[in-house]
Structure 1
């Protein structure tokens, strides 16, 4: 994929409601799963100006069993204009995010495993993340496609 859409302000771009589809592939066992749901980026109350609360919810299917799943992250304004500082809900750092070129690659060490994330803006209403997780405990690829929900009445 060689076409990226630069985004001058990551938080402004992400704000709103998104549909998402995530595939999860365990490269060690060849097992595959899928998560389908929604992601909402809404103002983070009590946070700094422009901060967003990211909440995902949906259904995760793994080895034929469907379960409800959700996660919450905080997207705070980053050190440079237009960037974001992504944190877990408890405040621990997760990764930086800079979409000014339309593409961003970042790492997150987690115990002995390393998460490497690639973020790609496809257009005004679509973006993708691919996380590759490698280490003694995991060998995964998680690919997520986000599509903006149409505004009500739109």
Structure 2
């Protein structure tokens, strides 16, 4: 998938939890702007139904400076305050960010200690979406770009 085009019409999602449910192929680049290094994550994210929302479990391989290592993370996507939206939380229940893809695009911020994560989300169509996190602060200076492609049962 190409980098999102701001002029392109996004694909609106009336219910983010229904849209995300299932398995997605994940490709992510991690660009360290301070150290001029780049890493890559390749794997899958499974959004499975649990407790009225979704459990997001991502697993794969992260390669940084030529070294590949297994990587994984878990998030919880709960129903948001407005119908069709989500409240994204870390595995331990701490708040991460809201998510509203009803227009097909969403922007959000997440302060983490002294760093600020500024997120952008865009939906291309029923099987493709994208995120970009710009992380800036004294500890990090990164751009994390992720493309998601739905995996359909064969």
Tell me the secondary structure at the aligned position of residue 137 of structure 1.
Answer: coil
TM-score (norm 2): 0.95
Q: CA deviation at 1:150?
A: 1.4
Q: Residues of 2 paired with 1:37 and 1:26: CA distance?
A: 20
Q: Residues of 2 paired with 1:116 and 1:105: CA distance?
A: 7
Task: Name the residue aligned to 1:16.
Answer: 22
Tell me the secondary structure at the aligned position of residue 52 of structure 1.
Answer: strand
Task: Name the residue aligned to 1:42.
Answer: 48
Q: Residues of 2 paired with 1:132 and 1:10: CA distance?
A: 22
Tell me the secondary structure at the aligned position of residue 38 of structure 1.
Answer: strand
What are the superposed Cα offsets for residues 85-120 of structure 1, whole Å, 9 maximum, x if unpaired?
Answer: 000000000000000000000000000000001000
Report matched runs for 1:61-140 at 5 Å: 61-140=63-142
Is there any run of 5+ residues in structure 1 with no aligned partner, and where? none
Q: Residues of 1 paired with 2:105 and 2:140: CA distance?
A: 25
Q: CA RMSD in A?
A: 0.6
Q: Residues of 1 paired with 2:33 and 2:124: CA distance?
A: 26
Task: Name the residue aligned to 2:12.
Answer: 6
Q: Residues of 2 paired with 1:137 and 1:41: CA distance?
A: 30
Q: Which runs of 4+ in 1 moved over 6 A?
A: none
Q: Residues of 2 paired with 1:75 and 1:24: CA distance?
A: 23
Is there any run of 5+ residues in structure 2 with no aligned partner, and where? none
Tell me the secondary structure at the aligned position of residue 62 of structure 2.
Answer: strand
